[in-house]
Structure 1
């Protein structure tokens, strides 16, 4: 099989149609160039040039090979550049999993910025619960997870990415919607929509624990696994609910969002999770991009 260097030698001779000028162009002497062309012709089993003492002319096979050789060298050059870009993380693919509430503000901003800075990185998104994400990370089906709990898995790192308060979503017709200073004592015996334990364990345990420790007993009318569905039920007047502040970007006609002072530590935490042994270069640049993009939102 011929080598790429032989293709370069051939193209130089085919362009110059003169061995002496081609050798000078290649910064080599004429005899080794002639030997390389002869070797290439032997490997191909065809004559590429018709030679006389005065002229060098491409044969029909040579003219065809001229086109093929240019294409092969171009593809080799592109392969080299793409390999270099991939090793630097500028090309490739990355899989990002996320909890639903991450899309309201954080994830769209990161994806848009990622596509702008790294247009040749394919970003695949998949919505999952926190538990499903840790399993996907363990099985290497996800590169980066946006989860609601820290990692307890060996080899999977996590750190707090966003720390935001909860806001109270209140039906517009409810009497609390008109109060300017709401406390958690106002929620006692009130109809309340809570995050489901099966899909939102961190929020469920945090909020129900807060109510118990303060002797507040809301009337839990529904346990729901989707922030959007919770807000839809609030909008229908079925009860009120705590949601992350970023969810207040979702506007409903009959919901009023109220800030409320909660005990210390009662906050909505979004964690970044990843395998420490992930050697995907695209993952590494996207991980840093996420950290830098959301750093101002961290407390």
Structure 2
């Protein structure tokens, strides 16, 4: 057909109401205008008239009518097969779009400082995967600085970092807290105590990683031990993974600090003792871009907030 205004071919299918196609499928299934009308809640005469108009528009006889009912013509059968396939594709498209819109399909890219068994992050990701099994989860481990840079360049959807950073171009929300522990060689003199103070560790050599929460741990140690060493804190930065750092502690290279998630891990030769003089647990925050409207992100934030409140409630009790 030709569009009279523009003089270009137009699609006949685009001008056929979807309701006409659905009614045609119903008549083809029941081979009865009356039964199709009862199923759709539409008067028999209305369906008969609508399909008659469709046949005139198409220039095709879809159904042969008789006193015994109706039956599909060969052209009608081919038409119905094509319409049924198209309706199935449309239904799939609608359902798929709906799943993406509500966050049941898609992917989410998460930046973490570490992922330890039994930690808050471990439980959060397990809960998210259970609730949204068809969402692809991509995890990148790195420093807070790296993760926030990746957020700004849209390489990550969300990052979980130690502390409560003040970032004017990002949204931040405190999600959970962890008490701080000293990581000591198992044969260290302080291991006999149930806890330690920062003054107890004055003069010790501290080991921190270059990656993960290492830069934040470095700044934290500087703040806590400023003025306690004549020549300043002795801090050795190591370009190693967490397990290697813990092995260095076990061999007596020095001590370090760690959150509760790390202290939960059974590491041979390393003992963890809480700090008596830490004023409050270390906060951990979610950071994300205000321009990210992803439903997968929204669902993760909702679950993280719910689990964080639940964990805080248990701690109070």
| TM-score, scaled relative to structure 1 | 0.82
Give structure 1 stretches of 5+ with no counterpart: none
2:268 maps to: 253
CA displacement at 1:112 relative to structure 2: 1.4
| TM-score, scaled relative to structure 2 | 0.78
1:192 maps to: 206
| Contact map agreement 2:63 2:71 (CA 8 A) in 1 | yes
> Greater CA deviation, 24-33 or 274-283?
24-33
SS of the residue aligned with 1:213? coil
| Contact map agreement 2:163 2:284 (CA 8 A) in 1 | yes
Separation in 2, partners of 1:206, 1:246: 17
1:34-45 → structure 2 map (5 Å cutoff): 34-41=48-55
Q: 1:183 aligns with which of 197, 205, 228?
A: 197
CA displacement at 1:32 relative to structure 2: 4.7
2:255 maps to: 240
Is 1:159 aligned to residue 189 of structure 2? Answer: no
| Contact map agreement 2:113 2:213 (CA 8 A) in 1 | no
SS of the residue aligned with 1:57? strand
Separation in 1, partners of 2:199, 2:34: 95
SS of the residue aligned with 2:226? helix
Superposed CA RMSD: 3.2
SS of the residue aligned with 1:95? strand
**What do the CA deviations read for 1:122-142 (whole angstroms, capped 9, x no partner)?**
433222321122122223332
Structure 1 pair 235–28 and aligned structure 2 pair: CA distance change class (3 A): same
| Contact map agreement 1:193 1:224 (CA 8 A) in 2 | no
1:58 maps to: 72
Separation in 2, partners of 1:286, 1:247: 23
CA displacement at 1:287 relative to structure 2: 0.4
Separation in 2, partners of 1:271, 1:178: 34
> Greater CA deviation, 52-61 or 272-281?
52-61
1:9 maps to: 23
Q: 1:19 aligns with which of 33, 54, 58?
A: 33
Is 1:229 aligned to residue 241 of structure 2? Answer: no
CA displacement at 1:167 relative to structure 2: 1.2
Structure 1 pair 209–26 and aligned structure 2 pair: CA distance change class (3 A): closer
CA displacement at 1:174 relative to structure 2: 3.1
1:1-299 → structure 2 map (5 Å cutoff): 1=13, 2-30=16-44, 32-41=46-55, 46-52=60-66, 54-100=68-114, 105-180=119-194, 182-196=196-210, 200-215=214-229, 219-224=234-239, 226-264=241-279, 267-298=281-312
